[in-house]
Structure 1
Amino acid sequence: MSSAWLVSLLSPHAALLAFVLLLAGGLALPIPEDVVLVSAGIVAGLGHAGLADMLVITFLGVLLGDVAMYAIGWHWGDRIRQWRFFDRLVSAEREAGIRAAFARRGIWFVFAARFLWGIRVAVYLVAGMSRQIAPARFLLADGLAVLLTVPVKVVLGFYGAHHRAWLEQALHTEERVIGILAGSILLLLTLWWLWRRRISRQL
C-alpha cells in the first residue's frame, strides 16, 4: 500500500476515509498505520483538507481503534479463546508473557506497546481480557502514546507534500526521534514509580 495510491483515494473524502482506515487497522486488519497517517498529512498539505481537522480525525481514528480492541477483550473475556482468529493473533506463550508484563509494569507496558507494531494489537486485546488494566488507565496510557506519535507523522506528511526528498529523509529521522523520546518518557515514568514505591514503604 503506497502513499501515492492512498493520497488519490483519500483526497475526495479525506477525513472520513482516514478515520475508517485507521479504525480498521486498530482492529487487526493489515493496514499500515504510518502510511495512512503520512498520506493524510499529504492530503492536507495539498489543500484537500484542513491540517487541524486531519490531526483531530487521525488521533481519534487511532485511539478508537486501540480502545475497540481493548473493549472486545474486556467484553468477551476468556471466551475469545474459542474464536478462530485468536490463536493466530495471540499464542498461549505470548498471552502469558503479556500478562506477566502487565503484572510487572502495568500501564507503562500499554504505553510502550504503541511503539511495538508486532505485538500492539495482542497487548490491547489481552489488556481487556485479563482486566489487569482498568479502562481509565488504559485510555490514559494509550492516549498519551497516540498523542506523542500521530501528530508527528501527519505534520511530516503535511510539510512534505511538496518536498518528497525532504519527506523521505524526515521519516527516517522521525523514527529515531520518537524512539528516543518514548524511551526517555518510559525511563522518567519508571524512575517516578520507583520513587513513589520507596516513599510509600517508608510511611
Structure 2
Amino acid sequence: MKCSSYGPFITLSLLTTTVRAAIEVQAFREPMTLEEKQALVQDDGSRRSMRELQTALTYKGEICSAEAQGMMPCNTFNTICQPDKFDYWLFNLQAGITYTIEVDRITCGLDPSMSLLAGFGTVLPGGCDGRSGSAELAFITYADDNDSLPGSCSGVPSPFSDPKFSVTPDTDGPFTLAVSNFASNIDSCTGALGYQYKVIINPAPSCI
C-alpha cells in the first residue's frame, strides 16, 4: 500500500517557512492504496488495541547503530490511524547522505508500517500515519507493504509485507520514526512476547 500512485518512486519535500532544498525520498511502489487496505481490515474493529494510550509522545529509545529491536503488544491491530499507539524511535541523520530505513518483522504475524518525521518532541502527531497535528514534527514519508518478508517468514502465512524507503536529508538533525501495526495476524501472537520487530538503518545513524 502507498499514499500516492505516481510512478515507481515517491519524491516528497519537507516544507518549512523558509526556502530550502527538497528532501529526496525513494520507495518502491506498493500493491494497494492506504484506503484499499483499510477497507480490507475495517470489519476487524474488535481487534483494535487495548493498549494504554500515550498522552504525550514518548520514545522507545534512541537508535545509534544499524539495528534496533522493538516489541508491540498483541492487541495493536489496525493502529495506522492511532498515533497514541505508535512506537516512536529517535535518531540523528546527516545532510546529503542517503539512508535506507526498513522495519522487518521478527514475529511473522505482525504487519508493520512506518512514517518518518523531521524533528523530535513530546506532542503527538495526528491523523493516519502521523501526517498532521504536531508543531514539533514535520511529516516526510510513509511506507507499508513495499519490501519482501524476511527469509525466516518464508512459507509462513503472514499478512501483507514489510516497509522500506530511502531518504536523503537536506540538513543535519534529529528525526522520528513512527512504527505502527496495520493488519496483524493476532492468532499468531504470544501475550508474553508480543510482536517482535527490528528497525534497520543503513548507514547507521549517529547519536544525538
Q: TM-score, normalised by structure 1?
A: 0.25
Specify the structure having the higher radius of gyration (Cα).
1
TM-score in terms of structure 2 length: 0.25
Bigger proportion of residues as helix? 1
The higher-RCO structure (CA 8 Å, 6+ apart) is: 2
Structure with a larger share of its residues in strand: 2
